[in-house]
Structure 1
Amino acid sequence: MSNEIDAGTVAQLLGVTRQHFTDRIAKKKGFPQPVVNFSPKSRRWRYDEVLRWRSKASQPA
């Protein structure tokens, strides 16, 4: 797997729809910034950063 993943793949990893991811989660403070950001429809995130964020987000406060 490439280290850069698109919004659809991020959504699958997080168990949400692509729309929910792009409308809500991608805009959350603390969510990794895209490493490729040509346009809202052409963005990529680092796989390992998304997994790290998911791990932290699922831990109780």
Structure 2
Amino acid sequence: MAVIALHPDQQPQQTTLRAIPRPILCKGDVALNTADIAHLLGCRRAHATNRVTKLSDFPAPAIDLSERMRWWSFLKVQGWLLNRQRPSCKR
């Protein structure tokens, strides 16, 4: 289980990220795949893959092995979400 808070004033949420081996980028930062990003945004994985991760202001992948093996820094994605003026997708 991971504890995720998108804003310092926000209560952390307990969320279950998929139980797959997850790279640790540095102390306090974990890697997110497109399914994790979709879960954080509340949209489908396909939308996160095809639209959100291709936005010009979205952080570059921290690990980019191929189109299907990309991982983003949780801290950078969190910073991107906090700086957004509108939600990127809704269910």
Shorter-chain TM-score above 0.5 = yes
* TM-score, L = length of structure 2: 0.60
Structure 1 equivalent of residue 33 of structure 2: 6
Q: Quick one: higher RCO (CA 8 Å, sep 6+), 1 or 2?
A: 1
Match of 2:79 in 1: 52
Identity %: 29
User: SS at the partner of 2:65?
Assistant: strand
Unaligned segments of structure 2, at least 5 residues: 3-23, 25-29, 87-91
Unaligned ranges ≥5, structure 1: none
Name the one with the larger helix percent.
1
What are the Cα deviations for residues 19-54 of structure 1, in whole angstroms up to 9, with x where unaligned? 001100100011000011111110000001111111
Quote how far apart the aligned CAs of 1:58 are.
Answer: 3.9
Q: Give the ranges of 4+ consecutive aligned residues of structure 1 lying more than 2 Å apart after TM superposition.
A: none
